[in-house]
Amino acid sequence: MLQSFFDRVSGRDLKSRRSTFLMVGLALFGAATTSQLLGSDSEVFRTDYKTALQEAEEKKLPLLVHFYAEWCSPCKRMDREVFPNAAVKEILGSRFVAVKINSDDRQDLVRRYGIETLPSDLVIDSLTGRVITLHAGSQDKNGYLATVSQAEAKFIQAHPRNVVVAQPVAEAKSATPELGDPKPIIGLAGFSPVALAKKRQWKRGSAEFAWEYKEVTYHFSTREELEEFRNKPEDFAPKLLGCDPVILWESDKAVSGDIKYAAFFNDELFLFKSDERRKQFKASPEKYIRLQHALKVDQIEPTVIR
Contact, 124 vs 60, CB < 8 A? no
Give the pLDDT mean for 197-212.
88
Facing residues of 243 across strands? Answer: 256
Residue 131: beta bridge partners?
124
CB within 8 Å of 111: residues ≥ 6 apart? 232, 233, 234
Q: What pLDDT sits at residue 112?
A: 87
Task: Give the separation between CA 41 and CA 63, rounded to whole angstroms.
Answer: 16
How far apart CA 223 and CA 179 sit, in angstroms, is 30
Single out the residue of 81, 116, 258 nearest to residue 187, CA to CA.
258
Partners of 65 in beta bridges: 99, 122
Residue 34 clears pLDDT 60, i.e. is over it: no
DSSP state of 17: H
Q: What is the pTM of this model?
A: 0.51
Question: Residue 208, Cβ neighbours under 10 Å: how many?
Answer: 11
What confidence score (pLDDT) does residue 65 get?
Answer: 96
The pLDDT-based confidence of 41 (bands split at 50, 70, 90) is low
- CA gap 9, 252 in Å, rounded: 65
b or e along 110-144 (b: 16 or more beta carbons within 10 Å of the residue's beta carbon)? bebbbbeebbbbbbbbbbeeebbbbbbebbebeeb
Residue 170 has pLDDT above 80, yes or no: no
For the residues 226-237, what does the mean pLDDT come to?
A: 89
Is the distance from CB of 213 to CB of 233 less than 8 angstroms? yes
Q: Give residue 254's pLDDT.
A: 86
CA distance 121 to 132: 11
CA distance 269 to 236: 7
Q: What is the pLDDT of residue 210?
A: 86
CA atoms within 13 A on the CB side of 180: 0
How far apart CA 11 and CA 181 sit, in angstroms, is 71
Binned at pLDDT 50, 70 and 90, residue 18 comes out as very low
- What is the rounded (10 degree) CA torsion for 97, 183, 188, 230? 10
| 284: CB partners within 8 A, 6+ apart | none
DSSP 38: H
- The arrangement of strands across the sheet holding 206-213 comes to 185-186, 216-220, 206-213
* Structural domain boundaries in the chain: 41-175, 185-299
Helix (H) or strand (E) segment spanning residue 58: helix 49-59
Q: Taking residues 176-185, what's their average pLDDT?
A: 53
Q: Taking every pair of C-alpha atoms in the chain, what is the biggest distance, in angstroms?
A: 88
**CATH class as words, domain 41-175:** alpha beta
pLDDT in tens, 42-101: 578 999 999 999 999 999 999 999 999 999 999 999 999 999 999 899 889 988 999 999
CB contact at 8 A, 51 and 141: no
pLDDT of res. 272: 93
Mean pLDDT of the chain: 78
Looking at residue 74, its pLDDT comes to 94
**Residue-level pLDDT at 294:** 56
